[in-house]
Amino acid sequence: MAFNVKALAPGFGAEVSGLELREGMDDGLAQTLISIWRDAGGLMVIHDQQLSSEQHISLSRYFGPLFGDLGEQPLQDTVSQYIHPDYPEIYRVSNQVDNNGQPRGRKGAGTYWHSDVSFREYPAQASILLGKQVPETGGDTIFADQARAYEALSDAMKKLIAPLYAWHDFEIAARTQYAKPVVVEDDMSGTNRARHPVVRTKLETGRKSIYVNPGFTSHIEGMHAEESNALLDYMQKHCTQPQFLYRHRWRKDDLVVWDNRSLMHYAVMDYPDDAPRYMERCTVIGERPQ
């Protein structure tokens, strides 16, 4: 299948067009797309994908097992109300309500810098988000490349953070970032707290990235609160500088695949409620950060 690939931004990201994944995905095409994604630093946009839920799920599984597939604590524990009623592999993000007054997905999901599911021992690797309804303007998603952010640090700072571990805690986001009453106490059940290295290395490439995020990282282990807060504040400023960012302006039927091991993202909620936005996400479970 012939298709076009272009760079999205000078430092990272690939844009793929001219590909109809609904016509079928085989091992060869999947490996080609995974290589493009990996070489582009873990960000790939594939335009014009009118996929059924089954097709979305089955192509996502080429990237690895999805949350829930391995019988581990499912992602649903933290987002129970927003899981697709017929497809437990799909998490929904939306500003819309259905005819019964039920939300079609989490409203305002990810309106803060985060890396998906970093509060688990085995956090998300790829997230694969399909934009089914997108506002005419606004509702962009911003990605921050944490590998290049790491590489830009001084050697002294790299040495300082190399041995550090940080704690990630779902409650940080649930209690501070999400609009009430969106998060319910049920969403807090299970183990949603994990300890990870501040710098992680991607298994396939050996490339290092900063792995703390304002959404879920509560503190750096072994530091006084003032020290930990100061270092995390510095990291946030450093990691979100414009040269590390790509801002995605959604087109309907964009399929965006990002690697949570080396990218943070931020969903910009600047669109009105009467501009429908509906997205479906499959989430690939990753390795334990090293």
Ligand X SMILES: O=C(O)CCC(=O)C(=O)O
Side chain identity at residue 282, one-letter code: C
Residue 194 CB, shortest distance to ligand X, in Å, is: 17
Nearer to ligand X, 16 or 256 (CB): 256
Residue 31 CB, shortest distance to ligand X, in Å, is: 25
- How many residues sit in the footprint of ligand X (CB under 6 A)? 11
Residue 184 CB, shortest distance to ligand X, in Å, is: 19
Nearer to ligand X, 126 or 153 (CB): 126
Nearer to ligand X, 142 or 188 (CB): 142
Nearer to ligand X, 141 or 228 (CB): 141
Query: Applying CB under 6 A, which of residues 267, 282, 284, 285 lies at the interface with ligand X?
Result: 267
- Draw the binding track, 210-249, toward ligand X (x: CB under 6 A; -: no contact): ----------------------------------------
- Scan residues 82-141 and list those touching ligand X (CB under 6 A): 93, 109-110, 116, 127, 129, 141
* Alpha carbon separation from 184 to 95, 103, 175, 178 (Å, rounded): 18, 14, 10, 10
- Scan residues 159-198 and list those touching ligand X (CB under 6 A): none
- Draw the binding track, 15-54, toward ligand X (x: CB under 6 A; -: no contact): ----------------------------------------
- Scan residues 134-163 and list those touching ligand X (CB under 6 A): 141
Residue 225 CB, shortest distance to ligand X, in Å, is: 27
Interatomic CA distance for residues 211 and 263, integer angstroms: 9
Residue 273 CB, shortest distance to ligand X, in Å, is: 15
Handedness of CA 110, 289, 238, 36 (dihedral sign): negative
Which residues in this chain contact ligand X in the complex, by CB under 6 A?
A: 93, 109-110, 116, 127, 129, 141, 265, 267, 279, 281
